[in-house]
Amino acid sequence: MSISELKREVAQCLRDFAWGQWGQMGVLAATDRSDHWAADPEALLLLSFEVGRGDPRLFDEVLDWTVLNERLISVQRLRNLARDDDDRALVEAVLGWVARRKRRARLTAKVPPSASQPVPFFRGSEVAVTDPDPAFLAQGFLKPNLDSRGRSQAPDLRLPINFAFRMRGLLGVGARAEVARVLVTSAAPRLDIQVVAASTAYAKRNVQEALNALRASGAVRSSTIGNEQRYEVSPEAWARLLAIDQLPLHVDWPQIFSPFRRILRWLEDPDNEALSEYMRGSESRQLLVELAPDLRFAGFDVDVAGPTGADYWDHFAATLQRLPLP
Amino acid sequence: MVGGSGLLAIGAVERATRDVDVVALRNADGLRNPDPLPAALQAARERVARDFSLPPKLYALVDQGPGKHEEDLRSLGPTVNELRAAARWSRSQDPSEGFEQILRQTLSHLGVDDVDLGT
């Protein structure tokens, strides 16, 4: 399988997934999906910003949703989830775009404008951008200057996928809502602070403060096992409080989406198309080695060993095809 | 570089070589001792070793002599069986008598004397 074949397959899978998720969250999109997990809004936004570079309609609809629902979004968390400069440029471009439509101090760009030559934002686009959007241009992207279409809606809080917004309605946009979401939906009976911090994408200090507050209110219990403090909730009590028969499932979306963003960028990089067979195997091995900790945290069984030399590429492609993007 | 890898580097041959013999590095002042190798070359060496499942430390120790490689190898704390396996693999990469002699001396230095190298 060539890089371009794998790229087409992965990109299509990610586009279908993103449309299916947003269709349940208020974006104008037809979907027959009815997922039983709780979405992670900021993680899904960040993934969609990257995936949307290959699907302008998806990107513009997600922007439309973001500007309508910006009060439901944690800007701090969106920034926390950005792992590298590519992520940060996407986040700041979108926040800058939203800030021009909704005047909020929290939306002010935190990353200095890009000094590099701007590149087309949408991949594969050959249309000249004569009137680039200033927020995107500041981050080095040439994107047509289009206004919000105003077609999105607020998320339907009755759907399991929108559970995060329900928790935010109850506890406010911040660490408490995310900590409660993770504890309430996790299949593990109790979690330590490192796991909660990784799952919520908040710093341990913020998570500790949130856990202390929730514990003081009686919403969360803690116990000490060995030297470690573990935290738990009563799912039944939370289900009664929220009048839900079945609580949604927890998925570690940040640890799934971050690898997929990097994989997509790697597959899209034209320099990789020119690699020798050995270097393609070596580079793909290096990528998988770097992504494995996140994927394992999210519960995927990733074998990084594989065959030697150039043959590793087939192992890499097969591993990607087996990754169960739900 | 000398030997097959030198010919490969100048495009005189296309056949892959088992090793790369670096005898000197050139800088603005001329030639200098290649030890230690530049970080980028070390990283490339480690990556090739990883990509082809080479046990790089023992091989490098035998090939290039004691020093950092010995420190690195000892820091890994290999078991006797791991050293025996690495020795057999290293021998398969270089069947020459000279290499075998240095390999046996190196193993003895590491406390392993009874190794069947398949010779």
Cβ contact, residue pair A282, B51, below 8 Å: yes
Strands A119-120 and A141-142, how do they pair? parallel
pLDDT digits (tens, 9 = 90+) for A216-231: 999 999 999 888 899 9
CA distance A44 to A260: 11
Verify that B79 and B22 share a domain, yes or no. no
Verify that B48 and B105 share a domain, yes or no. yes
Verify that B24 and B54 share a domain, yes or no. no
Question: Which residue of A lies nearest to B44 if distances are taken between CA atoms?
Answer: A282
- The answer to whether A294 touches A322, Cβ cutoff 8 Å, is no
| Residue range A25-33: mean pLDDT, rounded | 93
Verify that B14 and B30 share a domain, yes or no. yes
pLDDT digits (tens, 9 = 90+) for A82-121: 999 999 999 999 999 999 888 877 777 676 767 788 999 9
Verify that B56 and B107 share a domain, yes or no. yes
- What is the CB neighbour count within 10 angstroms for residue A227? 5
Verify that B49 and B103 share a domain, yes or no. yes
Range(s) of the domain holding residue B20 = 1-34
For an interface test with A, give the residue of B17, B51, B54 to mutate (most A CBs within 10 A): B51
pLDDT band, residue B56 (cuts 50/70/90) = low
The interaxial angle of helices A175-185 and A193-200, nearest 10 deg, is 110
pLDDT band, residue A128 (cuts 50/70/90) = confident
Cβ contact, residue pair B53, A312, below 8 Å: no
Evaluate whether residue B119 is within a structural domain: no
Of B111, B43, B37, nearest in space to B74 by CA: B111
Question: Which residue of B lies nearest to A306 if distances are taken between CA atoms?
Answer: B51
Q: Report the percentage of chain A scoring pLDDT > 90.
A: 85
- DSSP conformation class of A295: H
Q: For residue B119, what are its two tokens? A: 């010779």
pLDDT band, residue B63 (cuts 50/70/90) = confident
Q: Does A270 score more than 90 pLDDT?
A: yes
Complex prediction ipTM = 0.71
CA distance A175 to A180: 8
Name the pTM for this structure: 0.83
Verify that B13 and B41 share a domain, yes or no. no
Residues 6+ apart with CB under 8 A from A99: A107, A108, A109, A135
CA distance A88 to A46: 10
| Residue range A201-210: mean pLDDT, rounded | 96
Kindly state the greatest CA–CA separation across chain B: 48
Out of A65-79, B53-67, B102-116, pick the least confident.
Answer: B53-67
Evaluate whether residue B96 is within a structural domain: yes
Q: Give the per-residue pLDDT at B94.
A: 77
pLDDT band, residue A233 (cuts 50/70/90) = very high
- In whole angstroms, what separates CA B89 from the centre of its chain? 12
Verify that B49 and B86 share a domain, yes or no. yes
Instruction: Choose the CATH number for A160-242 among 1.10.10.10, 3.40.50.1450, 3.40.50.970, 2.60.40.1120.
Output: 1.10.10.10
Verify that B77 and B97 share a domain, yes or no. yes
Phi-psi domain of A76 (left: phi exceeds 0; alpha: psi -120 through 50; beta: other): alpha
- In whole angstroms, what separates CA A102 from the centre of its chain? 23
Partners of A312 on chain B (C-beta within 8 Å) are 51
Q: How many domains does chain B have?
A: 2
